[in-house]
Structure formats: structure tokens, C-alpha cells
Amino acid sequence: MIWGLPAQTAEFATKAALDVLPTRANLHRWRVAVNSICRRCEVKDTLCHTLNYCAPLLPAYKWRHNSVLQHLHKFIIQRQIPGQTILADLPGQTYVMPLPTPYRPDLVLVTATDIQMVELTIAFEANSSTSHARKATKYADLPAMAVTVGLTGSVACIEMGSRGIPSPGWKAWAAAAKIPQHVTDECASIALRASQIIWMHRDTTWPDPPLLSIPLSPESKCI
């Protein structure tokens, strides 16, 4: 995937993978900065912090999440079957959860007999398993709740790394749901490009851009 990216994004991806970007923690370790504290908050500024955990950047993280979710939603809409309703927790989308729960999984696919729910997290790669366990626990009761309204229910918790590496949970779901590899690669590319933009605005006001979008591969339209 890196070789297919613009040069600046490929450079960001490589340095992010090696954790040699000039975070405050690295600058302090290199004896360039007087401390390792984030300029936005009173927390040590590691790459994990900048890309996933800096509270003032929460709108940016939501933007990245929704950018990946939007692309996944575009693909799933391409193969919507007759009688199926597809809900997405995206800006501007109508969303009424067909179960008596306040939870709103990111994608919900409903037919007359079953409901499939997908919850997406953009996690720092080292924390993917923790994120997966937390979300799996949160939504554990939904399949049983589906049975009470006459539906077979399932929940998939999936994680895309903020540096563009899909988690084992994503890979297992993609294999079971027959999500082509090129769709996973496109979602990974969006996550990585979005993280680069977040990195570039780490010390400035977040501009709240439109969701990051790339065209679906022509292969997707043949499925």
C-alpha cells in the first residue's frame, strides 16, 4: 500500500511505522525539546497520544473514523440485496435502530430474518486488542436482544489501525463477510491519509474538512 501512496504520505507512513516522527516525546529524547508534554494538553506527547488520544483532537479522530466508515458503507451499498435495509451512523444519514437499545453500531444490515451489526474503531495498532475487547463487551447483549424481536443477530467489532494496519478482528470479519482485499486496502489508505492530515494539524486549529473520500475500485462495482 505504501508504494502506491503520494511521496509525502509514504514518508509519513514509514516514519510513523518506525515511530521517528518529531513528537514532543521524541524531540525530548533527542534533546531538542525541553520536555515531552503535548502542546494541547498536559499529557506526554507520544505518537499514540497524537494520533488517537489527545482530547482537543477528538473532532479530528471522529472525522477519520467517519471517513473510513463512509468508504465501507459505499462498498456495502453496492451489494445490497432486495429487502435489505442498511443503516450507517454517518452525518446526514437517517438512523433508527430496530432494537430497543440506546447503542448505535456504526453499520446495521437488516432483513426480515436477521440483523448484522458492525462497530468500527480506528485504534493505535498496539491497542487494537484492547479496543476490540472493550467494544465486544459493550455490544455483547445485542444478539440476544435481536432474538426478542424475532431476528437472528450478530455483532462484529472491527479495528483499522491509525497507521493503516487492519487488526486481526478486521481480517476475520472481512474473510467471513467476503470483503475483498482491495476494499480493506482502500480503507487502510484512508485511515493513513487521515492520520497524516491530523498530524499536520496537531499544533493548529482543526479545520473540520469534508470526510476524506477516494473512489471505490471498479472491481467493487462488479460484485
Q: Indicate the domain borders of the chain.
A: 2-210
CA nearest to 110, candidates 93, 97, 94, 121: 97
Q: Is 138 exposed, middle or buried (0-12, 13-18, 19+ CB in 10 A)?
A: middle
Q: What contacts 42, CB < 8 A, 6 or more positions away?
A: none
Rounded to 5 degrees, φ, ψ at 5 are -95, 160
Q: What contacts 71, CB < 8 A, 6 or more positions away?
A: 183, 186, 187, 190, 213, 214, 216
Determine whether domain 2-210 maps to CATH 3.40.91.
Answer: yes
- The pTM for the full model equals 0.95
Query: pLDDT 10s per residue in the chain (223 long)?
Result: 666 788 999 999 999 999 999 999 999 999 999 999 999 998 999 999 999 999 999 999 999 999 999 999 999 999 999 999 999 999 999 899 999 999 999 999 999 999 999 999 999 999 999 999 999 999 999 999 999 999 999 999 999 999 999 999 999 999 999 999 999 999 999 999 999 999 999 999 999 999 999 998 876 654 4
Strand order in the sheet with 152-161: 85-88, 107-110, 114-123, 152-161
> Beta strand 114-123 with 152-161: parallel, antiparallel or unpaired?
parallel
Chain centroid offset of residue 151 CA: 27
Q: What residues pair up with 86 in beta bridges, in sequence order?
A: 109
